[in-house]
Structure 1
Amino acid sequence: MKVRIECTYKTAKGTNAAFRSEEMNASKGIVIAEDLERTERGKNLLFIDSYENTWNLKELKEFMKEVETEPHNITIYFDGGFNLETRRSGLGCAIYYEQNGKSLRLRRNALVQELNTNNEAEYAALHLGIRELDHLHVHDLPVRLVGDSQVVINQLNGEWPCLEEELSKWADRIEGKLSQMGLQPEYELISRKKNREADKLASQALKEIEITSTIETDTMS
């Protein structure tokens, strides 16, 4: 979770000034806030998350302690591909998250036949990733949703209108699932080169190579 710190900063000579930090990971924010309190330089400390919710230090520490045992700091990379000749779609998602002090990666793909376009496949791949979060019992957290589809990312973040009926249905389905799970999406558009892992999973699905795995990684993607 990302937060920024707001407080009244007091210098050694007693000069006060309003202080507002840049956005940072909540764990880093806690360390900085504790240092400000220890040196008695920071007064009226307040944390504000990306959705303008406010926390004091005690509340944020308790929340982070609870979150530690559940999947958090979640990023979903997704990609979908549609084969016009076979009328089949390959869906792929790679989910990076932290739990119990470990960095983990879940990979999942699927071969489906009921879709008609590449854009539908892209939406379906993202939906696949969100369903995996449901299986992990993830709820009430921010999530990064990352893909190389301009259509999906720009329609879901509201920059582009969703005029096609089938894509509108997919957008509604995804937004409904996110709302049901209490997830706060942050959409990010990346290049195909940076989305190679999800692209490979989608391509493997089209070749009928099924992938379902979870491993521990050294760092977050």
Structure 2
Amino acid sequence: MKGRLEIVYRTPKGAEVAFTSEEMTAAKALLMAEDLQKSGRLKQAIFIDRSEHEWTTIQLKAYLEEIKTEPHNITVYFDGGFDINTRKAGLGCVIYYEQNGKKLRIRKNALVAEMETNNEAEYAALHLAIQELELLGAHHLPVMFTGDSQVVINQLEDEWPVMEKELTSWLDKIEGKLKEMGIQPEYKLISRKNNQEADRLATQALNEVEVTSQSEWK
């Protein structure tokens, strides 16, 4: 969870001033607030998440303690590759997350048939990632979804209209599942160069090389 920290600081002579931080993680915000409290001059500290929900430091500490054993700080990379001759698509996704004090990674790909376009393959890759999130037990938290398809990312963000029937079907399926899981999606467009891991998995799937793995990373 990310948001901003709003604090009211009191000087030794009683003057007060309010500050608003840049966006940061909840863990960093709590660390900053607790450090300021040690000075004895912090009058108030409120964390405001991206949904404009306000958290006291006590509530924020309880929340961070609660999610330690659950998947959190999740970032998903997805990519789809399409073979126009066979109408097959290779889907690849990588999920980075934290759980029980460890940084973990899931890598998954799949080969599917009867695709129409590369954009449909991209949507199918995102749907594969969401299925993996469901198996992981991720729910009721923000998730960053990262891909290199400008069309798909802009459609997911409602910046571009969805005209194709098959893409509308995928979009409805994805949004329905995210709502069911309580996932608050954020979308980020990156270059193909920065999406190499998911791209490689998609290519491996097209070459009928199946990958399913979970590992710790640093």
TM-score range, shorter chain: over 0.9
> 1:40: how far off?
2.1
> 1:51: how far off?
1.3
- C-alpha distance in structure 1 between counterparts of 2:54 and 2:145, whole Å: 24
The residue aligned with 1:200 is 200
> 1:13: how far off?
2.4
Q: Is 2:155 the partner of 1:155?
A: yes
- C-alpha distance in structure 2 between counterparts of 1:13 and 1:130, whole Å: 54
> 1:169: how far off?
1.2
Amino acid at match of 2:82: F
- C-alpha distance in structure 2 between counterparts of 1:48 and 1:109, whole Å: 37
Larger displacement relative to structure 2 (48-57 or 139-148): 48-57
Q: Secondary structure at the match of 2:191?
A: coil
For residues 101-153 of structure 1, the C-alpha deviation after alignment (integer angstroms, 9 at most, x for no partner) is 11111000000003211100000000100110000110011000000001110
> 1:91: how far off?
0.2
**C-alpha root-mean-square deviation of aligned residues, in Å?**
0.9
The residue aligned with 1:115 is 115
Larger displacement relative to structure 2 (139-148 or 17-26): 17-26
Q: Within 5 Å, which residues of 2 pair with 1:168-187?
A: 168-187=168-187
For residues 3-48 of structure 1, the C-alpha deviation after alignment (integer angstroms, 9 at most, x for no partner) is 2111211122221012211111111111111122221222222110
TM-score (norm 1): 0.96
- C-alpha distance in structure 2 between counterparts of 1:115 and 1:43, whole Å: 59
The residue aligned with 1:22 is 22
> 1:66: how far off?
0.9
Percent of aligned pairs sharing the same letter? 61
Q: Secondary structure at the match of 1:198?
A: helix
Amino acid at match of 1:105: R
- C-alpha distance in structure 2 between counterparts of 1:40 and 1:179, whole Å: 43
- C-alpha distance in structure 2 between counterparts of 1:40 and 1:172, whole Å: 52
Q: What stretches of structure 2 of length at least 5 have no aligned partner?
A: none
> 1:165: how far off?
1.3
- C-alpha distance in structure 1 between counterparts of 2:51 and 2:6, whole Å: 15
> 1:217: how far off?
0.3
Q: Secondary structure at the match of 1:52?
A: coil
- C-alpha distance in structure 2 between counterparts of 1:81 and 1:144, whole Å: 21
Q: Secondary structure at the match of 2:80?
A: strand
TM-score (norm 2): 0.97
Amino acid at match of 2:203: S
- C-alpha distance in structure 2 between counterparts of 1:197 and 1:166, whole Å: 26
Q: Is 2:80 the partner of 1:70?
A: no
- C-alpha distance in structure 2 between counterparts of 1:150 and 1:41, whole Å: 48
Aligned residues: 218
* Deviation >3 Å, runs of 4+: none
